[in-house]
Amino acid sequence: MLENRIITIFCILFLGGGILIAQPEICDNGIDDDNDNLIDLNDPDCVCLEATPVSMIPNPSFEEMNCCPADRSELNCATDWIQASDPTTDYIHTCGWLGWSDFPPPQPFPDGEGIMGFRDGTLRSTGDYEPRWKEYAGACLLRPLLKDVTYLFEFDLGFVNPQYSPPINISFFGTSDCDNLPFGQLGCPSLYPAWDKLSDVFIGGGSTNIWIKSALQITPEEDIYAIAIGPDCPLNSSMEDAYYFFDNLLLAEIDSFGLVVQEVSHPCKSDFAMAVEENPDFEYQWYKSGVALVGEITSELSSVYGPGIYQVRILDGNSCLISENYEYRIPSFSSTSQVSICGDETYEFGPSILSSPGFYVEIFANQNNCDSIVSLELEVIENQSSRLEAAILLGDTYEINNNQFTEPGEYPITFVSSLGCDSLVMLNLSTFEVFIPTAFSPNFDGLNDYFQPFSASGKIVSIEMKIFDRWGGLLFEGDRWDGSEFNPGVFVYVMRIAFDYGAIKEYAGSVTLLR
């Protein structure tokens, strides 16, 4: 019997003077052998050791505190943690500040009462989006990562909801000197001297208020003494605040983890699988939700049996070890589009050809075969028709939509909007004239008391008039002249008249002042 492999309990019952020995639970056949409604690893008869390595990251679950956070950006309250860049991460703890109201952290926390929150891009109060606003937390390691040694970084990542926590590449950066913390201002650490990106891992969210455990491997090309963790370097173009949470950060030599389930290919691809490091001396058995997947007895799972919690057990001839839970979920993406089309057009949306306004939802497969849920708000702009009344000076030209008209009449004109939709305008064009008197009599009898131009009502917008004597002296400036302080005689005028259709005309001549 292998040590720690299977604990078998035999129940001895006395029935009618006879002895009945109950069937023990067999831990790798997917059957409830002892009829207690508990199958395989879910049955306490089946016990395996689960070894946990010691993290090289100080204060890996943000439990040790210098102070209780009272507001955002107080990572300094978490012992041994450093704000790695000018954009600041947030320290969240049940003793005080519990995060942004827009980005509530998923609860309960995976390990203890403290977590860290960070952004990947931000929408500023001015309404401008700053994709370079990437927030990182940094720490000086308890002992360095050694060159050419493989390590595993295992962590829990928290998601708010699909809108504010879309799928993300989490990146791990390193430097050879703790004095390189903090590293700089906007952007990711590898944009700055002495910092290198060591690894990353894609993590799909798609749910609200959830923690997902993930891991990535690191094999540094030089000794690493300090790290920074956070979003990947490419800019997030979602135009939304993207916010996430870290907890339970475990960094150690990969050998110390014993069994670590790794992803083979992308989670959405048809060839996706799970595997652990192969050892010819081991016996393997895979489980889903604690129930054995019969026949799955190699280091790599031959196929995926749907979303759920997976584990693998190994027997090495002396002991039984079980891996930590690996939660397989198919990442999903969501987005919303607003599209406008003309009334005589259609819009292709997946398999549908749309021509009516409304709200539509379609599921597409992206480049990795993940579901992408696209919501479409379709606006249909019907062709418009209207009537335009316009008048111009006799002999002038009216210009509209690259067309010119000089004669009165009705003219159909087609406009094309910025969306390419037609709009029909029927132009009704008429003409008018301007009358400038040759004489006036400022005797205030109510007849010809002022000198000014006349036209159809509302056609003249403004008048700039200058009156000169016969020697060229300027006597008056304004929009009409009463001439009351001058003796009868002939005067010279210059006028600049603006009309309601945009034309400006200049006139000059003489006028006789009478008494």
State the DSSP string of 133-201: EE--EEEEEEEEEPTT--EEEEEEEEE--TTTS--EEEEEEEES-GGG-S-BSSS-GGGSTTEEEEEEE
Domain boundaries, the chain: 1-51+258-326, 52-257, 332-381, 384-432, 439-513
Burial (CB count <10 Å: 0-12, 13-18, 19+), residue 222: middle
Share of the chain above pLDDT 70, in %: 91
Residues 277-317: tens digit of each pLDDT: 888 888 899 999 999 999 999 999 998 898 899 999 988 76
Whole-structure pTM value: 0.50
Question: Distances in Å between the alpha carbon of 364 and those of 41, 163, 205, 329, 333?
Answer: 38, 18, 17, 17, 10
CATH architecture of residue range(s) 1-51+258-326: Sandwich (2.60)
- Tokens linked to 446: 């109510």
For domain 52-257, the question of CATH label 3.40.50.620 is answered with: no
E strand or H helix at 244: strand 243-253
Give mean pLDDT, residues 223-228: 96
What per-residue confidence (pLDDT) applies to 236? Answer: 79
Q: Could you tell me the strand order of the sheet in which 409-416 lies?
A: 384-393, 422-432, 409-416
Sorted by sequence, the CB contacts under 8 Å of residue 173 that are 6+ apart come out as 136, 188, 189, 190, 195, 196, 197, 198, 227, 228, 229
Query: How many Å apart are CA 512 and CA 489, to the nearest integer?
Result: 6
Query: How many Å apart are CA 259 and CA 301, to the nearest integer?
Result: 14
Give mean pLDDT, residues 233-255: 87
Residue 187 CA from chain centroid, whole number: 16
Q: What length does the chain have? A: 515
Query: How many Å apart are CA 15 and CA 11, to the nearest integer?
Result: 12
Query: How many Å apart are CA 306 and CA 213, to the nearest integer?
Result: 18
Residues 201-222: tens digit of each pLDDT: 998 765 788 899 898 999 999 9
> Domain 439-513's class?
mainly beta
Bridge partners, residue 378, by sequence: 339, 358
**Local structure of residue 252 (DSSP, 8 states):** E
Residue 10, pLDDT above cutoff 60: no
The reply to whether domains 1-51+258-326 and 439-513 share a CATH topology is: yes
Give mean pLDDT, residues 88-92: 95
Residue 8's pLDDT band, with cuts at 50, 70 and 90, is: very low
Cβ(422)–Cβ(413) under 8 Å? no
What per-residue confidence (pLDDT) applies to 229? Answer: 95
